[in-house]
Structures are given as C-alpha cells and as structure tokens.
Amino acid sequence: MIIDGKKTAEKLREDLKKKIIDLKSTFNSVPGLTVILVGDDPASKIYVKNKEKFSKEVGMNSEVIRYPKNVEESVILDKIMELNKDKKISGILVQLPLPKHISKKKVIETILPAKDVDGFHPVNVGNLSSGYDSSIPCTPLGCFLLLKKVEKNLSGKHAVIIGRSNLNGKPMAQLLLKENCTVTITHSKTKDLKEECLKADIIVAAVGKPKLVKGDWVKKNAIVIDVGINKTESGIVGDVDFDEVSKVARAITPVPGGVGPMTIACLLNNTVECFKRANS
Ligand code: GUN
C-alpha cells in the first residue's frame, strides 16, 4: 500500500474549511495565521508561499511579514510581542532556519505558547511530553495521522525513529509513546542502524540522507514513513529507498506526495485549534 499524503491532506483541508465556516458563524471571526520570513532562502520562500496559499484557501486570514536577512534580532522580537497581543492573530510562525545573528531560542521563547502553531515553545514541548493538550509540531503530526490511517491501534508496536531532531524525531517519539508504542530513537551515533530497523513494526525516517533505508533493513509488513526531502541529481528522493522498501513493507509513504503535503495541512489544523482554545 502506498500512503497517499496528498489526498489525505486535501481531505484534512476540506474538513478545516467546513470547520472555519462554522467558527465564523459562531464567533463572527476566523482564525488568523501570521508567518514571519527572514532573508531569501529559496526553500523557505516556497514553503512560506504555500503556507499563505493554503491558509487563504481554507478561509483563514493570512499574512506574511518579510524581513531582509540583515534585520536586527530586536525588530523580530518586537514584532512577535506585538502579534502576541493582537486578538485577530491566532497563530504565529517564524520560518526556520534563521540567519546566524538571530537566536532561534529567543525567537521561539518570545512567541506566546497559545499562539505557537509550530509547537516549538518549551511550554508546548513540555505539555506534549507530559501528555497534556498542546500544539504538536506539524511534521510529526502529519506522520502520525498517516500512520493512523494504516493502523488504528498502535499499542505494543515497536517503532524505530531515525533522527533525534526537535522538529521531528523527539516529538514523534512522544506521540508514539502516547499510543503505547515501544519507541527506539536512533541517530548518527547508533551502533547498528540496520539491526535496529529490522526490529521495527514502524519506521519513521527523518535524517536527510538519500535512500538510507534499504529493502533488507525492513521487516516484512512493517509500516514505513519517510520524512526525507533530499535533492539529488536524479530528482527529489526520501530517506528510504522506495523501490526496494515498497516490495517488503506493508505500507509506505512516497516522496514527494507523502509526508510533505500533510505538514502544511497540520499547520492549518494547529491554527484552528489555537483559535478554538482562545475562544473557549
Ligand atoms: N522550516 C522547516 N520546517 C519548518 C517548520 O516546521 N516550522 C518552521 N517554523 N520552520 C520550518
């Protein structure tokens, strides 16, 4: 089975569109997302454009604030504090990576946790790891929703996550723990990655190494979620060798068309959730 992230994301956006119509009739206002983009990183520019496009498409208010790459850190922090106070703004996202002279930590910690649609603020990270209600980082949330489409009951499954980033690996582990999975987080210092993967009922690969996971690394009937987006001479490929692994796995996400489209849909979902919490 090939897990269709594009279709699943479309369905999620359709559902959000309906929810936003309902919210508008109840509260006479709609969720608002503000994205801050610093500099002109080509990949970030594409991501931000898509975030703007899809948030408008589902009926939200959407604004992108752009700054040149030499903008002072204090300008960004002041803008975030202004947005924190603005009742029309439900969610704030500062696109990463940021130029070196701007502290990612300070930026993330300045965003009000209730408006942190990325789920990166330490309060949200803590809430997720404690099992409380919080914004959940968009990429792992997207992976999780795709996984649940294949397998409703994840209890007792052995999940192996490749990569320990704050963006994906660590929050993914928390989501799977909450579902009673046994979770192994692997990383660049893991002794025998192939051996770890062979124990997995679920593999989530998020390391940025093209076609790292091979067919003989995967147990028959495992579910494989590929977060990788790697530019190679032969085009965009994931962290999983799709041709090999798709012959062994029970279900697999393609690249492109797997996790990627889910990430923005989950961002829109998080913005709606922030709006609902703010109005409840
Ligand atoms: N850059 C790449 N992915 C992300 C993301 O999920 N959130 C933010 N803020 N920046 C990113």
Catalytically active residues, by annotation: 51, 95, 118
Distance, CA of 263 to CA of 251 (rounded, Å): 19
- Report the nearest atom of ligand 1 relative to the CA of 138: 6
93 close to ligand 1 (CB < 6 Angstrom): yes
CATH number of 28-112: 3.40.50.10860
138-260 belongs to which CATH class? alpha beta
Say yes or no: CB of residue 135 within 6 Å of ligand 1.
no
Index of the ligand 1 atom closest to the CA of residue 267:
6
Per-residue pLDDT at 136? 98
pLDDT (0 to 100) of residue 156? 98
For the chain, which residues score pLDDT lower than 70?
Answer: none
pLDDT digits (tens, 9 = 90+) for 178-231: 999 999 999 999 999 999 999 999 999 999 999 999 999 999 999 999 999 999
Q: How far is the CA of 40 from the centre of ligand 1 (A)?
A: 15
Closest CA to ligand 1's atom 2: 96
Which atom, in ligand 1's list, is nearest to the CA of 139? 6
Res 249: pLDDT = 98
* Minimal-distance CA residue to ligand 1 atom 3: 96
pLDDT at 61: 98
**Given this model, what pLDDT does residue 94 score?**
98
Give the start-to-end residue ranges of the domains of the chain: 28-112, 138-260
Q: What is the pLDDT of residue 200?
A: 98
